[in-house]
Amino acid sequence: MRNLRLPNRLLTTAAVAVSCLAAAGSFSHACSRTLWKSEGQPVLVGRTMDWTGKMGTKLQVMPRGIAREGMTDQNPLKWTSKYGSVVATIWDGATSDGINEAGLNANLLYLAETKYGDRDPTRPGLAVSLWAQYFLDNFATVAEAVKAADSFQVKPFELIHQGEPADAPVHLSLADASGDSAIIEIIDGKTRIHHGPQYNVMTNSPVYDQQLVLLKQYQGLGGKKPIPGTMDAEDRFARGAFYLTKLPKKPESYQEAVAGVLTVMRNMATPLGAVDPVKPNVSPTQWTTICDLKNKRYYFEFSRMPNVVWVDLDKLDLSEGASEQRFDLANDIEAAGEVSGKFRKCDPFIFQKAGTAVTWKPE
């Protein structure tokens, strides 16, 4: 398997030309994530999932007390879930997003520069399909999660996308009800962590250190350039950081606070149909979520549907021994509002094993 990479945006004209030529033979998908904490309102985390096609996304209830293993051939990490969660699954094989009953949120976003490194069987192994789920199962705060972030080795499964293989290169964000945040990347087999509430925006390439440098060139963020409007990851990063500063410091209501984060995410989203053959890292936004980390509420919307649904975790049975449950909004197009009553018992979710290829195909 190989990891397909997109080059970073460089600052010289010549380097940009080389970058555009190189990008024509590679791909990534694009996603965005923001965290916002305002006076009198809960911490809210928004994210978009951008990809060239549907991903079979469903909402899944994961109760406490589930025994899991890391889905690697050698020395898999083992644990039993301490916290119940609601997650968004993709390709019937991975958790990509979610919130647990303690108010911890996790999001997986694409990062073409990710390199997982050779397998070290002396370290517990964890398939990337379970990376977000591991943190949701085990931790209540970002600080707790960060302490464990380098105690195991993450290994990829293989995506076959537009006929090309890629080792599911992603990075991960965490947030909790206090507003704490962390961005975790795996570069050349080494774990890099940016930990603190100031890390409130995330997109894709380049790596996070470089994103922070690029951000300083824009008006309102340290520089003089106008806020960019393209669909490129570094431009969406700047746009998200800028628009967060424009939200009211004290929203008039809870509804306005949630809607405010949605306005930022929609400004970072990519329209349906926006597939650029010259810039294959540009992909349409397939869905958007908002996590309310205080009230344990999970909002979800498909871009192809005008209705927003949400789930209140306190209305779900997350107790040990309870059944896993699933809600498929794509097959319930009239659903809107709070949908905890629409989840139905289902078989236990099976995570994609490290080193295997995703076989899911759209119906």
**pLDDT value, residue 19:** 34
| Band (1; pLDDT cuts 50, 70, 90) | very low
> Which residue in 282, 283, 300 sits closest to 291, CA to CA?
300
- Percentage of the residues of the chain whose pLDDT score is greater than 90: 83
State mean pLDDT over 178-202. 98
Q: Taking the model in full, what pTM does it have?
A: 0.91
pLDDT in tens, 25-51: 344 467 999 999 999 999 999 999 998
Annotated catalytic residue 31: yes
Question: 39-345 domain in CATH 3.60.60.10?
Answer: yes
Phi–psi pair at 330, nearest 5 degrees: -60, -25
**pLDDT value, residue 161:** 64
Contact 112, 26 (CB under 8 A): yes
The 3-state DSSP class for residue 346 equals: coil
Catalytic member of 20, 31, 291, 346:
31
pLDDT in tens, 219-265: 999 999 999 999 999 999 999 999 999 999 999 999 999 999 999 99
Domain spans, the chain: 39-345
Q: For residue 341, count CB atoms less than 10 angstroms from its CB and return exposed for 0-12, middle for 13-18, buried for 19 or more.
A: exposed
pLDDT in tens, 260-299: 999 999 999 999 877 766 665 678 999 999 999 999 999 9
Q: Which tokens sit at 337? A: 């509002």
Half-sphere CA count of 279, side-chain side, radius 13 A? 16
